[in-house]
Amino acid sequence: MNVTDEASTLIPHSGLRIQHSLPVMEAFYTLQGEGFHQGRAAYFIRLGGCDVGCHWCDVKESWNADKHPKLSIETIVAEAARHPARLAVVTGGEPLMYDLTDLTTALRGTGFETNIETSGAYPMTGAWNWFCLSPKKFKKPVSEAYERADELKVIVFNRNDFKWAEEQAARVRPDCQLLLQPEWGKQSEMLPLMIEYAKSNPRWRISLQTHKFMNIP
């Protein structure tokens, strides 16, 4: 992929910029390994930049946007279109640090479904077929993220996260899918508790990072 200079236009009074290019940490074709769409072939676009600061984050190298090349929207979409599946997953970092209108418009114009994985800490931009909200205690979601969420995915690091999960579930739509996912390093400790919790509270499902078991990106 070719690196381009960053170009953006400030949206008055919003602090956001319409992005004509974006910092891309990595982009790759694989299977969605977790959540509601687990098992589907998808093109992942991982944007650089995040200020949420989860101490257990497994992609901390994504946090500093300046370390990653800025690619034009045209280049990002052209690379995605080289692959047969028409599902694009935009993740990070925290992707909603950027205005994603241009990106999703271009992806949809090329026939892609557009999914996002976000902490919801920033205002929503872009057009999404599926909005996965994974809220973090360190920087809580904005109200519109709860209203838009199709999937609530709560990472379980310790026992207190079950209470946090219920607090978050109380704020999403009734038809939102509720998922509990163990933090990878705590899986052996937390998964037995999660299984019992889901059995006692059957509106919750368990999500596992199956891509790590399959040894794929």
179 is a domain residue: yes
Consecutive sets of 10 residues in the chain, 217 residues long: mean pLDDT of each? Answer: 43 50 96 96 96 73 86 97 98 95 97 97 97 94 98 96 98 98 92 98 96 87
pLDDT for the residue numbered 11: 39
Look at residue 36 and tell me if it is in a domain. yes
Domain containing 49 — which CATH number?
A: 3.20.20.70
- Predicted TM-score (pTM) of this structure: 0.87
Res 193: pLDDT: 98
Specify the pLDDT at position 61.
77
Residue 39 domain-assigned (yes or no): yes
Q: Are 136 and 93 in contact (CB under 8 A)?
A: no
Interatomic CA distance for residues 117 and 89, integer angstroms = 7
What's the confidence (pLDDT) of residue 212? 87
Residue 153 domain-assigned (yes or no): yes
Phi, psi of 3 (to 5 degrees): -85, 135
pLDDT at site 17: 47
Full residue range of the structural domain in which residue 187 is found: 8-214
Is 166 a member of any domain? Answer: yes
Structurally, the chain folds into a number of domains equal to: 1
Tokens 């078991």 locate to 213
**pLDDT confidence of residue 44:** 98
Residue 2 lies in a domain: no
Domain assignment present for 130: yes
Inside any domain, residue 109: yes
